[in-house]
Each structure stands twice: as C-alpha cells, then as structure tokens.
Amino acid sequence: MRARSITQARLRKVVVILLVLLAMVSLASLLIGEAGLSLSDSLKGLFHHEGVAGLIIYEIRLPRTVLALLVGAVLGLSGAALQALLRNPLADASIFGAPQSAAFGAVAVLYTGLAGALSWALPLAAMAMAMLSLWLLLLLAGQRAQVFVLLLAGLAVGSLAGAATSILIALSPNPFAITEIVFWLMGSFENRSMQHVILAAPFIMLAMGLLLAQGNAYRALALGEETAVSLGVDLDAVRHVTLLAVALGVGASVAVAGAIGFIGLAAPQIMRRFLSSDPKQILWPSALTGALLLALADVAVRLIPAQSEIKVGALTALLGAPLYLLAVWRETGQGRQP
C-alpha cells in the first residue's frame, strides 16, 4: 500500500509538471513564427482574436501547434506500446520503417493524381502502408523474433519505402520535387491548416484510445508471453490491436506531417527514467512527453536561423539518434540484467 501511494504521488507530480511544460511550450508555439509579430501584437491577436495577428495565430500557428501536440502524443504513446508489447526499450515504429512506408502510401495516392492533398484517401493510404510494413516485418521476422532482427528488417523496409517515395516524387511532373521529398521523409508542420487537423485527429484519437486500453495486458506481458497468456491475456488480440493502432496513429500523422522519427523512442525512455518502468503507468505520460518533445522541436526549428526552415523531423532525428545509440549501448555494452 505504502509503495503504491508513493508511485501514485510521483505519477501525479510528473503529470502536473508535464502539463505545465506543455502549456508553456504551446503558448510559445503560438507566439513565435516567421511573421515577426511583436509579443504584444501576438498576445492581442491570441486573446482578442482580431486583426492580422489574430489571423496569423488562429489560421497558421494554432493548427501547427495542435498538430505537433497530437502527432507527438500518438508517436510517444505508440513507442511506449510497442516497447511494452515487444518488451524491449529499443522498439519504435520509426525504427521499424513504418513512417517511411506510410509516407510512400500517401505519396503514392497524391502524386499519381488519385487524391488531393486534403483528401481522406491520403491518411487511409498512409495507414494502410504503415500497417502493411508492420505486418510484413513481423511476418518475416517471426512473432518471437529478437528485436535486433526487427531493427535490421525495419532498416531495410524503411530504406526501401524512402527510396520508392523519392523516386515516385521525382518522376511526377513537379517543379518542387526536392522540397516535397524532404517534406515527406523528414516531416514538418509548416503551412498546416485546420483541414489537416481534421484529417488526422479522428484517427489519432482512435489510435490513442485503443493503445491506452491495453495497459493491463502490457503490464502482464512484463512476465513474458506464456505467463501473460496463462493469466488470461488474449495475446493475439493485444498484438493485433497494438499493430492496428500504431499503424493508424503513425499513418495519420505522416499523412499530415511527413515522417517524423525518434519521438516514440525517446518519450518512453524519458518516462522510464523519471517516473517508473511500469508499462501501463507510463502510457499516458509517454503521450504527454511525446507531445512536449515534438512541440518543443517545432518551436526550435522556428528559432534556429536558417535560409529555409529546418524540417522538424531532421531535428528530432538529430537529437533522437544519439539517444538511441546510447540506449543500444546500455542494452548491449553493459549487458542486460540477467
């Protein structure tokens, strides 16, 4: 009982801190941008919803902020869920090539003229490809595959999808091919509108609901698959729902923001360090952390002086990849606890 109340108290503390930071970053995201509004103009626009400032904040910066929060949340949660399912802190959809595959799906319908940039076909195709890539990966590598096998297979899937995406865009009659390729493979929240939010939000919400409902099963899986089954966990259902939800979340995110990596890897890692290793307890906090990280990265790309805005996916990869290497080193270099 005592231990439980301590963890509950710590959970509350961490969630409150995350919410405060989220509020601060969201506000910063609304007040910072290339329009060069002064702080007082921005605040006036934000609170009185009028004038050019109001227009910029509500039409340009708000959708961008909301998208970054939604996408970050679902990526953070997906990472926590995959790590719980595979019982390995190195698992993440982006490591398995799912975002690149989703980008290929979106690009395939967009550049073949099958659908417009704001059509429902875009997220649907992205989700279908994300699903396909995850299925293919687990089918090829086997249900009981070592995560390292999944990583290598994921690398191949990701590279293949990335190459196919860039070739497809280059072949289309498109004067902005290079920029577009970079957008799909690196991800960005530039020039997003409320239409994009409407396109992605329902799938992201559904994905998060499905993943959050698996908490007890993820926790039982800490004892291994056989023991979890003996405790009444429907392992096949948990696997299928998790993969489906991750594909929905990643696909919908990619359809509106391109492929953004490492959020799903970093968020649960951070929560495991500061909160607990309980796979159920870190689900919500990982979503909040993912939202915080991605919103923060999206503010950062607007502050870094550059000719054209740095893609947010490039920044998350720049910060996330070393973190990943660190995690790999921790898992292998020092050996895991027997």
Partner 1 sequence: MRDLTLEHLRIAYGEKTVLGPLDAVFEPHCLHVLAGPNGAGKSTLLRHLSGVLPKQSGMVRLHGKALDQFSRLEKAKEIAYFAQERELVWPLSVREVVMLGRHPHGTSLETATSVDEQAVDEAIEATAISDWADRLVTELSGGERARVLLARALATGATWLLLDEPVAGLDPRQQFLVMAMLQDQVRQGRTVLVVLHDLALAARFADRILLLHQGLAVAHGPVQTVLTQQSLADVFGLAASMSPEANGYNLQIHGVMPCNFR
Binders of partner 1 among residues 187 to 216 (CB under 8 A) are: 215-216
Residue 264 tokens, joined? 């799903």
Q: Rounded distance, CA 122 to CA 128, Å?
A: 10
Q: How many residues bind partner 1 (CB under 8 A)?
A: 27
Pick from 15, 27, 205, 222: which binds partner 1 (CB under 8 A)?
222
Does 268 bind partner 1 (CB under 8 A)? Our answer is no
Q: Toward partner 1, which CB reaches closer, 280 or 302?
A: 280
- Binding residue for partner 1 (CB under 8 A) from 220, 294, 296, 317? 220
- Give the integer Cα–Cα distance in Å for 32 and 298: 10
Residue of 277, 321, 326, 332 that binds partner 1 (CB under 8 A)? 277
- Residue 280 CB, shortest distance to partner 1, in Å, is 7
Question: Least Å distance between CB 76 and partner 1?
Answer: 18
Give the ranges where 172-282 is alpha helix by DSSP (H): 177-186, 194-212, 215-220, 225-230, 235-257, 263-274
Residue 85 near residue 233 (C-beta atoms within 8 A)? no
- Rank residues 223 and 318 by Cβ distance to partner 1 and give the closer one: 223
* 330 lies in the site for partner 1, by CB under 8 A: no
d(Cα 160, Cα 275) in Å, to the nearest integer?
37
Q: How far is the CB of 266 from partner 1 (least distance, A)?
A: 18
Residues 6+ apart with CB under 8 A from 1: none
Name which of 308, 239, 227, 275 is nearest 17 in CA terms: 275
Any contact of residue 229 with partner 1 (CB under 8 A)?
A: yes
The CB-of-8 to partner 1 minimum distance in angstroms stands at 8
- Residues 36-75, one symbol each (x = binds partner 1 by CB under 8 A, - = not), give ----------------------------------------
Q: Are 46 and 179 in contact (CB under 8 A)?
A: no
219 is a contact residue toward partner 1 (CB under 8 A) = yes
Which residues 6+ apart lie within 8 Å of 101 measured at CB? 129, 130, 132, 133, 157, 158, 161
Min dist CB 84 to partner 1, Å, is 9
Residue (of 257, 315, 260) closest to 75 by Cα position? 260
Report residue 224 as tokens: 């291994």
**Please, which of residues 80-99 interact with partner 1 by CB under 8 A?**
87-88
Binding site for partner 1 (CB under 8 A): 1-4, 87-88, 215-216, 219-220, 222-224, 226-227, 229-234, 277-281, 337
